[in-house]
Structure 1
Amino acid sequence: MPSAARKSQERDRASMEPPPADDYAKERYGVLPLIQSQEKSDRVLVRINDLTVEKTDEVVWVRGRIHTSRAKGKQCFLVLRQQQFNVQALVAVGDHASKQMVKFAANINKESIVDVEGVVRKVHQKIGGCTQQDVELHVQRIYVISLAEPRLPLQLDDAVRAEVEGEEEGRATVNQDTRLDNRVIDLRTCTSQAVFHLQSGICQLFRETLIHKGFVEIQTPKIISAPSEGGANVFTISYFKSSAYLAQSPQLYKQMCICADFEKVFCIGPVFRAEDSNTHRHLTEFVGLDIEMAFNYHYHEVVDEIADTLVQIFKGLQERFQTEILTVNKQFPCEPFKFLEPTLRLEYREALAMLREAGVEMGDEDDLRYIHIVGM
């Protein structure tokens, strides 16, 4: 942590009033020292997404960020967030919490990281706005681990609001420049968290499916001595006293493995293309999911493997990542994705016939372009 940021955080910690000497709950709340490595703790922290009705009446410790806080009389409602999951926590004056403790909790800056000990209670009415809608935490202890700045450059609630909703209701949204200038905060939103979990899930499902099929994962060089694929522009870089290139594809190395009797290989890794284009189908850098395999009699053996792999990925996303898909859909509404099992296959002449029936002029030797594929 830079010294200026450290000093600022230390000032913020010092600015929070210490508990009064006569406060019966003074040991149950406060701001912990910045360095916590002087002693080890056997405290077990429970994940917020694991807080369910099955844990009712259990005393648990949770670490999360203060998403929102709302004080009302002798109680304070907090929403604790951990990645894309959140839960309501109640701090109320009683045996475990004093009036000063409630005030302390209400004054903790948003996005601060806190440790909370509380009793899991089942609620009679679902809590809207929280992923854990059937339970809440009744707080017994609360300690600030990392105190956030009092003013943030963007509010997370604004950052996850759908643009259509913001326009119709006149509520604030966050533009792309502000997001990129404050990317660390923007990545905390439930939508960003879900997107990255989905990206990870696709790679996981791709890997699991192919390993189950007998493929071997390989890692290939990304700094190479010659362009690796025709038809794609290449980035040239300085390599000591000579030049080298960023790999456009792992194609050469995959083919080497097949010739070396690996039979089936796959690779997950970055791909670099020096294509100066403004379309969403031309990226200078992306993650490639590549396979290579030997076939015995007909290239349809490869087509079969690719088709089934895609189907397994789509099914896995629907079965194992439904929460993430729904989270993204809240901000970016779209129709549920659909696919056929087995995958639809068209021969080239069938595709040409469909396009010609739709009024597209196509010669027998013409290449199918993206607009044609979408049209079909």
Structure 2
Amino acid sequence: MRERHLVKDLAAMKDGPVVLGGWVEKLRDQKRIQFIILRDESGDVQVTYPRPADEDALADKVSTLTNGSFIWVKGRLVHDERVKLGGLEIQLDDLEIVTLSEPETPIADDTSIDKRLDWRFLDMRRPEMNLVFKVQTTIEAAWRSYWLENGFTEIHSPKLMASASESNAELFKLEYFEGFAYLAQSPQFYKQMAMMAGLGRIFEIGPVFRADPSFTSRHATEFTSVDMEVSWIDSHEDVMNIQEELMVAAISAVKESHGEEIKRLFDIDVIVPSRPFPRIPLADAVDIVKARGHEVVRGGDMDPEGER
């Protein structure tokens, strides 16, 4: 691996030589000075190069850059509070172009979601989208730490099954050699088998598949499921307490690692809830919903409109 400095580490470093690798977020090619906004997976920084009066090969190379081009930059880190972007800049000494991108990008700020999904790898360069995956990683790490500290064992259940794990109506059926198999709708059977095997406490984070034609946000044909199973409980209160602890652990980790960035990009304050969470019996919740103009007609559960 070629050694490089990450943008997020520059603020804590002393002025001096650095090597950065990333892509061109923006180029301002002015008559007397050139500005490159360089972004890597951790942030962005301003790179400057004063144009010499005479012909200059490095200035000419900078002029060829396009938004999205991947480059290596060698230069000198300078802390300067006048610089709006983080109070620091890189004074360019050398530039290596890894790949030049097309001058016209296929997506812009006002591009529709459908086209953004067609060019997902470009859309994910946006800090807002990049942050989604960082937050997901932080949440999973926090949950895994909680589970392992509390005696859980991680399992990886099969995703090809010989029969349905839940309703037959939501199965994806596919050819499997001389017969057929089904994509797993849930790891439920395997969780229960793990309990009978004496594992006691297990968890799994993995994909599940539902052949549900609905196009609402409540239904997805493929999603990542977070499952756990616990033996030797006294009541549902034990499960609810674990769920509360998991939520607090996850939100606390997100606040610590990404709270400032979430505030900057989305103007949302990450607030860690206090325990115990407020609890309302289902019968009382049904009465509250009815008082607000909606009657839950199906028995035993809250319907989608009631939840909204």
Task: Provide the TM-score with structure 1 as the length reference.
Answer: 0.75
Confirm or deny that 1:271 pairs with 2:208. Answer: yes
Pairwise CA distance, 1:202: 2.2
Pairwise CA distance, 1:315: 1.9
Aligned counterpart, 1:318 = 255
Pairwise CA distance, 1:373: 2.4
> 1:112 aligned to 51, 69, 78, which one?
69
Pairwise mapping of residues 358-373 of structure 1 onto structure 2 (< 5 A)?
A: 358-362=292-296, 365-373=299-307
Q: Could you tell me how far apart the structure 2 residues matched to 1:231 and 1:373 are?
A: 26
Could you say what secondary structure the match of 2:71 adopts?
A: strand
Q: Could you tell me how far apart the structure 2 residues matched to 1:302 and 1:229 are?
A: 22
Tell which has more relative contact order, 1 or 2 (C-alpha 8 A, sep 6+): 1
Q: Could you tell me how far apart the structure 2 residues matched to 1:246 and 1:119 are?
A: 54
Post-superposition Cα deviations, 1:293-335, rounded to whole Å, max 9, x if no partner, equal: 0134223212211221122112221222225524652xxx667
Change (3 A) 1:291 1:326: same
Could you say what secondary structure the match of 2:248 adopts?
A: helix
Could you say what secondary structure the match of 1:321 adopts?
A: helix
Aligned counterpart, 1:51 = 10
Could you say what secondary structure the match of 2:144 adopts?
A: helix
Aligned counterpart, 1:342 = 276
Confirm or deny that 1:301 pairs with 2:238. Answer: yes
Question: CA RMSD, aligned part only?
Answer: 2.5
More strand by share: 2
Q: Could you tell me how far apart the structure 1 residues matched to 2:213 and 2:301 are?
A: 22
Aligned counterpart, 1:60 = 18
Q: Which runs of 5+ in 2 are unaligned?
A: none
Whether the 8 Å CA contact 1:74–1:99 is kept in 2: the answer is no
Aligned counterpart, 2:89 = 136
Whether the 8 Å CA contact 1:109–1:148 is kept in 2: the answer is yes
Aligned residues: 308
The one-letter code matched in structure 2 to 1:351 is A
Q: Could you tell me how far apart the structure 1 residues matched to 2:257 and 2:32 are?
A: 42
Aligned counterpart, 2:81 = 124
Q: Could you tell me how far apart the structure 1 residues matched to 2:265 and 2:87 are?
A: 22
Change (3 A) 1:213 1:63: same
Change (3 A) 1:153 1:297: closer
Sequence identity (%): 28
> 2:287 aligned to 346, 353, 357, which one?
353
Pairwise mapping of residues 145-164 of structure 1 onto structure 2 (< 5 A)?
A: 145-154=98-107, 158-159=108-109
Could you say what secondary structure the match of 1:60 adopts?
A: strand
Aligned counterpart, 2:60 = 103
> 1:80 aligned to 27, 38, 47, which one?
38
Q: Which runs of 5+ in 1 are unaligned?
A: 1-40, 160-172
Pairwise mapping of residues 149-188 of structure 1 onto structure 2 (< 5 A)?
A: 149-154=102-107, 158-159=108-109, 173-188=110-125
Q: Could you tell me how far apart the structure 2 residues matched to 1:335 and 1:100 are?
A: 48
Could you say what secondary structure the match of 2:170 adopts?
A: coil
